[in-house]
Amino acid sequence: SGPVLALVGATGAVGTVMIDIMNGRESVPWGEIRLIASPRSAGKKITVRGEELTVIALSPEAFDGVDVAMFDVPDEVSAEWAPIAAARGAVAVDNSGAFRMDPDVPLVVPEVNADQISVRPKGIIANPNCTTLSMMAALGALHREFELRELVVASYQAASGGGQAAIDRLYAEISALAGKDVGVRAGDVRETLEAAGLPVSDSPFPAPLALNVVPWAGSLKDDGWTSEELKVRNESRKILGIPELKVSATCVRVPVVTTHSLAVHATFAREVTVEQAHKLFEEQPSLVLVDDPAALKFPTPADVVGGDPTYVGRVRQALDFPNTLDFFVCGDNLRKGAALNTYEIAEELVTRL
Ligand code: 2RA
């Protein structure tokens, strides 16, 4: 026996990583793991920790007896079903955008604000957006000591943040361009993709992604900001508990399959040295410091993808801005950025059920 865990969206990209994470754990606290998905995927068999489980269709009864229900489904599905799970007695841990900014729903990164797990008036806990999440462990550690005041970030976001279709598109573009002398004349990448049957009008991205960078992620919001940039601002404020934090973000998609990176420029109330920052990063178990500029050692997505920690490097004291650090983080957007953080919240809940 033990608590019952449900995984809603078990057959999706992040759901699959959640199962990988559970399969990789030495032990899990669950007496039962229940896999739930759309009726289309019901009946599918998936092996979890050596046991073949049958995926069941999403229904109110599917939550009977469930203690913790992890959701990785589109916003509208979470908006409808997380409250149903909660009404049936489960705590819903939701990785969609449906509840993140709801004042009655805690937005949790366990190593930053685990204490907020216990106050959940709606029976729902939200998992942050992967872009915000990728820098939270580092910023949380610095904020505890030096009091964060201002944050300017540029993201370098991987295709997989846009789902499987976005990954497929990036690979297709790379294949279509491989071996060709393109990227030397304005428009030649677009034209080559079009000639290969890959017009940008069919892409999840608003411009070619291969051999390019695209300063756009999410949807258009007021005054030219994207949804992704506003999430970085609003979610950072909520997670760190600094409602007045000054934040400015520019979110950019890069031709990387998985692992988001961010260039962070963070200003604190007090002076902070590189040595002090290094020490805090080294003490934080979910961070790995890779910062030896003389040896050209720093994190890159290609070197960290598939791992659980967030990697931090290029830590510098800003030359012209007092009390300010610049640094670079890389985190696997499907693991800590989504599945792992959600699962860590679920395990943390077990100690507080
Ligand atoms: C992205 N942050 O990278 C989004 C995914 N939730 O597109």
- pTM for this model (two decimals): 0.96
Q: For ligand 1, say whether the CB of 129 is within 6 Å of any of its atoms.
A: yes
Residue 280: band (very low, low, confident or very high) from pLDDT cuts 50, 70, 90: very high
Which pLDDT value is given to residue 267?
99
Query: How far does residue 76's CA lie from ligand 1's centre (Å)?
Result: 16
Question: Which ranges in the chain belong to alpha helices (H)?
Answer: 13-24, 75-87, 110-113, 130-146, 164-177, 188-195, 227-240, 274-283, 301-304, 340-350
Is pLDDT of 164 > 90? Answer: no
- pLDDT of 244 higher than 90: yes
Q: Whose CA is nearest to atom 4 of ligand 1?
A: 161
Section 287-297 average pLDDT: 98
Residue 163 has pLDDT above 90, yes or no: no
Active-site annotation, residues: 130, 260
pLDDT tens per residue across span 128-144: 999 999 999 999 999 99
Q: Is the pLDDT of residue 20 over 90?
A: yes
Q: Is the ipTM of this complex over 0.90?
A: yes
Q: Amino acid letter at 153?
A: V
| Mean pLDDT (the chain, rounded) | 97
Instruction: Give yes or no for residue 352 having a pLDDT over 90.
Output: no
pLDDT digits (tens, 9 = 90+) for 28-49: 999 999 999 999 999 999 999 9
88 CA to centre of ligand 1 in angstroms: 30
pLDDT of residue 118: 93
Q: Region 209-218: what's the mean pLDDT? A: 98
CA–CA dist 232, 334 (Å, integer): 17
Amino acid 308 reads D
Confidence of residue 259 (pLDDT cuts 50, 70, 90): very high
Residue nearest to atom 3 of ligand 1 (CA): 161
In this prediction, what percent of the chain has a pLDDT beyond 70? Answer: 100
159 lines ligand 1 (CB under 6 A): no
Q: What is the pLDDT of residue 37?
A: 97
What DSSP string describes 202-237? GSSSSS--TTS-BS--S-B-GGG-BHHHHHHHHHHH
Closest Cα partner for 112 from 242, 266, 18, 229? 242
- Residue 331 beta carbon below 6 angstroms from any ligand 1 atom: no
User: What would the pLDDT profile of 85-110 be if each residue is shown by its tens digit?
Assistant: 999 999 999 999 999 999 999 999 99
The string over 288-315, giving b where at least 16 C-beta atoms fall within 10 Å of a residue's C-beta and e elsewhere, is bbbbeeeeeebbebeebbebbbbbbbbb
Burial 18-36 (b: 16+ CB within 10 A, else e): bbebbeeeeebbbeebbbb
Give me 52's structure tokens.
Answer: 């073949």
Calculate the CA 260 to chain-centre distance.
8
